[in-house]
Structure 1
Amino acid sequence: MLFSSYIAIGDSFTEGVGDDLPDGRVRGWADFVALGLAQASPSTVRYANLAVRGRKLGPIIQEQVEPALAQHPELVSLNGGGNDIMRPRVSIEGVAEALVAAADRVTAAGSTMLLLSGANPSRHLPMGGLIRRRGNELAVAVRAMLPRDGMVFVDNWADESLEDIRYWSEDRLHLNALGHARVASNVLTAFDVPVPAEWGVEEVAAAPRGEATRRTADYYRRFVLPWIGRRLTGRSSGDGRAAKIAELTPVDPASAHPL
């Protein structure tokens, strides 16, 4: 299934945090998906990415859904809730219902809805057991409301291979380039679109699993303490940030990234 226009909405997972480019920008799985669609399509594919890191599900829906639909894309992807389940208090049922309601809004507008879960980082994080339990509960709640017409669900949370440390960036909360490429391959496979061989997804999957790294004092200083500081002061890593690709833009299929 091919699409000539695609808009991604969400948080850091969809923005592409962890897949850092040499010039300081980020790429990510949604960019890879846009490239895969462009390489498989005989016509021009246009792409936008409205995701902003640090966003909880409510702001994602409030700030991104309508601007996306106003551009009348054929495909919209939505991931959210990851930042919600990391807060002290959260209604898992409420997050699941909000996700599916937003997805229904997209299909009602005539776009195909790609609803997808994030990869599971809990094996590598402090308090990982709590994150895994809440993530499992959210996945079960969402799956219980599917399938739905006009909606494709890609369950990256259930992809146990993605838990391998090889797929995670230094902060262990965000995927690296290998992880984002694997998520993109899961999406393209769901649409029966060929996964470009140059991404090396199959070769990485066939290689031995990586060894878990120890959480050191430097890790806590660089990543955990700043995260706690933002929570205590009500700040977000996405404060003041705008969408990296706000308007549908033609994708160059020969490019390494569509930015």
Structure 2
Amino acid sequence: MGDSFTEGVGDRTKYLPNGVRGWADRVAERLAKAEEGWEYANLAIRSKRLRHVIAEQLEPALALEPTLITLYAGGNDILDFGTDMDVLMAQYEALVATLAGTGATLVLFTGFDIRVSALLEPLKKRNAAYNERVRELAAKYGAVLVDYWCFDALQDRRMWDADRLHMSKAGHKYVAAQVLDHLGVPHKISLKEWEPPSRMTLRDWERRQRRWVNDWVLPLFGRKLRGVTLGDNLSPRWPDPVKVPRKGGLKKLIEQAER
């Protein structure tokens, strides 16, 4: 359940729904390899606010009678003007309480404090408040906490997509490994060895900043002003449970459906 983080934005592929893969697909595939019979649904859609997750994803999720639930929601609310954090976290707790009440293993995430730009520094306090509350609620409701905020490996800019807000393929692989480790599920996900990132010249840095503002920041604020999001015309990637093949992964399901 959730938004772009769980949908898989940044981990591009032409073979899977919505053109992405992501850490959740990778976790589902490893679960299926470790124990046959796992079924997987992914209700997350990019740009969704917490209220949308509650209104659109909670009832379908409960209807599935899940044994494992992952939830990350609220990050987009933090980026919105005028968000009341007390109200937001009260709604978040109500959602967590409902999900915990199903008896399923519940996995929660803090938000990562990436230093995207000085433009977004005013949101840092909101993110810190969100993370502290998520930690408290994970302890209160017995949830598994993936403390995303603490992952030093994500400081490397290669872990992030061009928009600097969504993880790259490498970032999604890293988070998949972390989730599996927290669940005690064996896996062989590993990141390739990287050379230390090269230092940019001032000119390269300025060019990179200008491109980022033009390609991502201005369109983002433009959508906010128009009241539209990138997820408005999208459907959940896996709205109904699919039995994950032990060999071939989720891509195999698409290939079989196209035959």
TM-score of the pair, normalised by structure 2? 0.86
2:109 counterpart of 1:116? yes
Instruction: Give the one of 157, 172, 190 matched to 1:200.
Output: 190
2:77 counterpart of 1:45? no
Contact 2:46–2:231, Cα closer than 8 Å, also in 1: yes
1:66-94 CA distances to partner (integer Å, 9 max, x unpaired)?
10110111111110111011112122233
Q: 1:76 to 1:39 in 2, by over 3 A?
A: same
2:30 counterpart of 1:36? yes
Identity of aligned residues (%): 35
Task: Name structure 1 gaps, 5 residues minimum.
Answer: 1-8
Counterpart position of 2:175: 183
Contact 1:164–1:210, Cα closer than 8 Å, also in 2: no
Alpha-carbon distance in structure 2 between the residues aligned to 1:14 and 1:130: 25
RMSD: 2.1
Contact 1:56–1:82, Cα closer than 8 Å, also in 2: yes
1:125-146 CA distances to partner (integer Å, 9 max, x unpaired)?
3523223332112111222334
Task: Name structure 2 gaps, 5 residues minimum.
Answer: 255-259
* Structure in which a larger fraction of residues adopt helix: 2
Contact 1:120–1:163, Cα closer than 8 Å, also in 2: no
Alpha-carbon distance in structure 2 between the residues aligned to 1:159 and 1:94: 28
Equivalent residue letter for 1:219: W
2:83 counterpart of 1:90? yes
Equivalent residue letter for 1:36: R
What does 1:1-259 correspond to in 2, within 5 Å? 9-23=1-15, 25-41=19-35, 43-121=36-114, 123-196=115-188, 199-201=189-191, 203-204=192-193, 208=196, 214=205, 215-255=208-248, 257=250
Alpha-carbon distance in structure 2 between the residues aligned to 1:110 and 1:142: 19
Alpha-carbon distance in structure 2 between the residues aligned to 1:103 and 1:60: 12
Which range is displaced more, 98-107 or 167-176?
98-107
Alpha-carbon distance in structure 1 between the residues aligned to 2:157 and 2:230: 23
Contact 1:39–1:253, Cα closer than 8 Å, also in 2: yes
Shift in Å at residue 18 of structure 1? 0.4
Q: 1:117 to 1:229 in 2, by over 3 A?
A: same
Counterpart position of 2:257: none
Contact 1:27–1:257, Cα closer than 8 Å, also in 2: no
Contact 1:165–1:211, Cα closer than 8 Å, also in 2: no
Q: 1:144 to 1:82 in 2, by over 3 A?
A: same
